[in-house]
Amino acid sequence: MSYPAHKIANDDANDKEPHALPHNLEVEQGLLGQLLVNNASIDRVADILEPFHFYHPVHSRIYDAILKTVERGDIASPLRLKKYFENESALEAVGGTAYLVDLATASFPFASSEDYARQIFELFQARALIAQCEETRYKAYNQTIDSTVQDLIEEHETHLYTLAESGVAKKDAVSFKDSITEAIRMAEVAYNRGGAVSGVTTGLTELDRMTGGMHPTDLLILAGRPSMGKTALATNIAFNAAKKHLETGGREGAAVGLFSLEMGHAQITTRILGDLCGVSSDAMRKGAISHEDFKNLVEVGQNYKDLPFYTDDTAALS
């Protein structure tokens, strides 16, 4: 059985161009139908979607009307929204105000409102990405004397970063009730570990005892004068966290990403291997090690080849 609410999608399929921009009208219809039937779902998608994220202008207008109606404290039903769209010429093309009823009564593939919203937003990002790349492509072909290629690259990177950041969900304020639940959960983790740290271990007993380990959202700053061993200590902590993760099958510790601006990844790994084998990293670089030391290095390297430790030594990181 077909439904009138599918009209846009069916018409669009017939007229689709070889390189039509990414979209899924049935998903847009599915979300709007859910919102019209259950206004409470708007709370779960309002932080994800803005009206301009919809591909079809009619759907954008309907979503905007639902948002504004609910914000006023009214029920956004097809009957209530009808008066706002009676003279809407764009809506006439898809059946007029009856389309609102069709959306609310049609049968669409089941998905949660959040799933529908994320699909719509991802398709919007795809369209925005294509548009940005096309703009950069045009500027690359038509360079002016006022800008360099490097300027164009940096401008493109800025736009891509902004586009990526637009998908980061906004965090709401957390009630004390929810904070208590999280605090008790952390205490329970430590209790179940027999009094051990509740966070990710640094591998340094005294430091873990004072801090309780490293936790999500923690900002830890390691400060000191030049050549005081800051990088060595940070690398040691990072290795210990990744080692614990490997040894416990992911139950404790953490996978680690290390961004290094002064040492290459091979230098960092050489320092770690040297510490594990009791061999000077300087001696390793100069080849001043014994046959036994070399065998030990190879064996230790094999033991830790699956360590979840990733290094980015890109010099231009900021």
pLDDT for the residue numbered 107: 66
Tokens of 231: 């990088």
What is the structure's pLDDT at 196? 63
CA atoms of 238 and 79, how far apart (whole Å):
59
Q: How far apart are CA 81 and CA 102, in angstroms?
A: 13
pLDDT at site 208: 85
**Burial (CB count within 10 angstroms: exposed 0-12, middle 13-18, buried 19+), residue 24:** middle
Sequence-separated (6 or more) residues with CB below 8 Å from residue 250: none
221-312: CATH, from 1.20.120.1150, 3.40.50.300, 3.40.50.150, 1.20.1560.10: 3.40.50.300
User: Considering the entire predicted model, what is its pTM?
Assistant: 0.53
Task: Show the low-confidence residues of the chain (pLDDT under 50).
Answer: 1-4, 6, 9-10, 13, 15
Q: Given this model, what pLDDT does residue 282 score?
A: 82
Q: 26-53 burial, b if ≥16 CB within 10 A, otherwise e?
A: bbbbbbbbbbbeebebbeebbebbebeb
Q: Residue 56: which of 4, 18, 82, 20 has the closest Cα?
A: 20
- At 126 the pLDDT is 94
Domain(s) labelled CATH 1.10.860.10 in the chain stretch across 4-123
CATH T-level assignment (fold) for domain 4-123? DNAb Helicase; Chain A (1.10.860)
pLDDT of residue 1: 35
CATH 3.40.50.300 range(s) for the chain read 221-312
Looking at residue 70, its pLDDT comes to: 92
